[in-house]
Amino acid sequence: MHELPPAAVERLNRAKRSGVRTSLLSAPSAAGIEAVGLEPVGEVMGCVVQSMVSRYQTYAPVYSYNVSGVAMPYLEALQSGYSTALARLREEATTLGADGVVDIRLSTNSLGGGEEFLAMGTAVRARSTTRPTSLFTTELSGSDVAKLMLAGWVPVQVEWAGAANAVFTGYATQAQTSFYAGNTEVDSYTALINRVRADARRRFHDMVRSVGADGGIVSRMALSTWEPGEQVVAALASVYGTAVAKFHRGGPAPARTLTVMPLRRQGE
């Protein structure tokens, strides 16, 4: 368990005393979770501001081809920040008696010499005697969660997977990026980008398997590049998504929604 900051504890206590259930859901999302027996119990947030290893702090030795690890300290800082923010979000949701958190938004923001990692979402609770065995989290909107559940799937856990690497820009790369090169593929850059994207997807796949899920829904991917040292280029790939599990395997999931709305009155 992650200890919540005092301000978060006070905010949760105030929500319990007032009985007011706030939500970050849009109208379609709120209607969606209502259709599958869920209701919002309050907005939840996980936040941490931590000192970061600068992307430019670790300088690679010039004329060295073994530079693949120079981006790892920055990647490890990101993993720590996202993990702590999500853990605090789950702790807030558990305190409110929620069964899950939907429409989670992950973001970062520079703050002085540190970096804020923020996870925000809406905690929901099932209106039934059958309760989920563990808290679920997802980036999916309420309406998308409803579609997922009506199709026989349930969200398990929101995931952030990252991968980083770097390459030495030797003579071949410098020739391919020179003013006179023209429209020429830069082989080392292509290899670098493909490597980090593939590694990030593989880590997302491994994270989905580690929580016992049956699949994963990728909601977005991101890529950033920088030069941590002389003649060195680094890249970071990120995959955001949700691990999902199948709960209904005998054909279409049961649903009470109408696929066709009749326009005639009864008896006509």
Q: Per-block average pLDDT, block size 10, for the chain (268 residues)?
A: 65 63 85 90 92 65 61 89 95 91 94 89 87 88 92 93 89 81 87 95 96 93 87 92 82 47 48
Q: Is 65 helix (H, G, I), strand (E, B) or coil?
A: coil
Q: What is the pTM of this model?
A: 0.80
pLDDT at 22: 75
pLDDT at 89: 95
3-state secondary structure 100-143: EEEEEEEEEEEECCEEEEEEEEEEEEECCCCCCCCCEECCCCHH
pLDDT at 259: 41
Query: Right CATH number for 6-246 from 3.30.830.10, 3.40.50.720, 3.30.110.70, 3.40.50.980?
Result: 3.30.110.70
The Cα-based distances of 210 to 63, 159, 161 in angstroms read: 39, 11, 13
pLDDT at 86: 96
β-bridge partners, 102: 122
pLDDT at 175: 81
pLDDT at 66: 61
pLDDT at 58: 52
pLDDT at 84: 95
Provide the residue count of the chain.
268
Residues 138, 44: Cα–Cα separation, whole Å:
13
